[in-house]
Amino acid sequence: MGSRETWATRLGFILAAIGSAVGLGNIWRFPFITAESGGAAFLVVYLLLVAFIGLPVMLVEFVIGRESKQNVVDAFPAIGYGNWKAIGVIGSITGFIILSYYSVVGGWVIQYIFGSLTGAYTGSAEAYFGQVSSGLNTAGFDLLFILLVAGVVGFGVRDGLERAAKLLVPSVVGLMLFLAVYAATLPGAAEGYAYYLSPNLATLRSDALAILPAAAGQAFFTLSTGVGVMITYGSYLDEDRSLLRDGFVIMLADTCIAVLAGLIVFPVFFAQGIAPGDGGIGATFVSLAGAFTTLPGGRLVGTVFFVILLLAALTSAFSILEVIVSFIIDTTGSARSYATAGSVAGIFIVGLPTAFDLQYLTVYDAIANNVLLLLGGLLLALFGGWVYATDAITEFSKGLTSPQFIPKLWIWVLRVPVVVVLSYVLYQNIVDVIQTIQTSLL
Member of 35, 157, 212, 227 binding ligand PHE (CB under 6 A) = 227
Contact yes or no for 25/103 (Cβ under 8 A): no
User: Which one, 293 or 316, has the nearer CB to ligand PHE?
Assistant: 316
Q: Kindly write out the interface string for residues 320-339 of this chain, putting x where it contacts ligand PHE by CB under 6 A and - elsewhere.
A: x-------------------
What is the closest distance, in whole angstroms, from the C-beta atom of residue 309 to ligand PHE in the complex?
10
Site for ligand PHE in 94-113 (CB under 6 A): 98
Member of 15, 18, 20, 284 binding ligand PHE (CB under 6 A) = 20
Contact yes or no for 110/145 (Cβ under 8 A): yes
User: Which one, 196 or 221, has the nearer CB to ligand PHE?
Assistant: 221
Contact yes or no for 316/18 (Cβ under 8 A): no
Would you say how long the chain is, in residues?
Answer: 442
Member of 1, 15, 18, 21 binding ligand PHE (CB under 6 A) = 21
Residues 6+ apart with CB under 8 A from 23: 102, 312, 313, 315, 316, 317
Binding segment toward ligand PHE, per CB under 6 A, in 24-32, 33-41, 46-54, 280-288: 24-32
Member of 25, 38, 56, 217 binding ligand PHE (CB under 6 A) = 25
What is the closest distance, in whole angstroms, from the C-beta atom of residue 277 to ligand PHE in the complex?
22
User: Which one, 24 or 231, has the nearer CB to ligand PHE?
Assistant: 24
Site for ligand PHE in 397-426 (CB under 6 A): none
The rounded distance, in Å, linking the Cα atoms of 414 and 398 is: 19
What is the closest distance, in whole angstroms, from the C-beta atom of residue 407 to ligand PHE in the complex?
26
Can you count the helices (H) and strands (E) in the chain?
22, 0
Can you tell me whether residue 284 is helix, strand or coil?
helix
Contact yes or no for 147/141 (Cβ under 8 A): no
**CA 289 from centre of chain:** 22
**CA 45 from centre of chain:** 17
Binding segment toward ligand PHE, per CB under 6 A, in 22-30, 154-162, 231-239, 285-293: 22-30
Member of 84, 112, 145, 221 binding ligand PHE (CB under 6 A) = 221
Member of 164, 165, 186, 229 binding ligand PHE (CB under 6 A) = 229
User: Which one, 23 or 56, has the nearer CB to ligand PHE?
Assistant: 23
Residues 6+ apart with CB under 8 A from 167: none
Member of 24, 55, 263, 268 binding ligand PHE (CB under 6 A) = 24
92 binds ligand PHE (CB under 6 A): no
Give the residue closest to ligand PHE by C-beta.
Answer: 25
Residue 141, CA distances (Å) to 31, 284, 360 in order: 23, 19, 17
Member of 19, 23, 188, 353 binding ligand PHE (CB under 6 A) = 23
The rounded distance, in Å, linking the Cα atoms of 71 and 64 is: 10
Q: Quick one: DSSP state of residue 261? A: H
Q: Kindly write out the interface string for residues 137-176 of this chain, putting x where it contacts ligand PHE by CB under 6 A and - elsewhere.
A: ----------------------------------------
Binding segment toward ligand PHE, per CB under 6 A, in 50-58, 218-226, 336-344, 428-436: 218-226
Angle between helix 373-382 and 419-440 (nearest 10): 160
> Pick from 25, 100, 92: which is nearest to 376 by CA?
92
The rounded distance, in Å, linking the Cα atoms of 113 and 426 is: 37
Residues that bind ligand PHE (CB under 6 A): 20-21, 23-26, 98, 221-222, 224, 227, 229, 316, 319-320
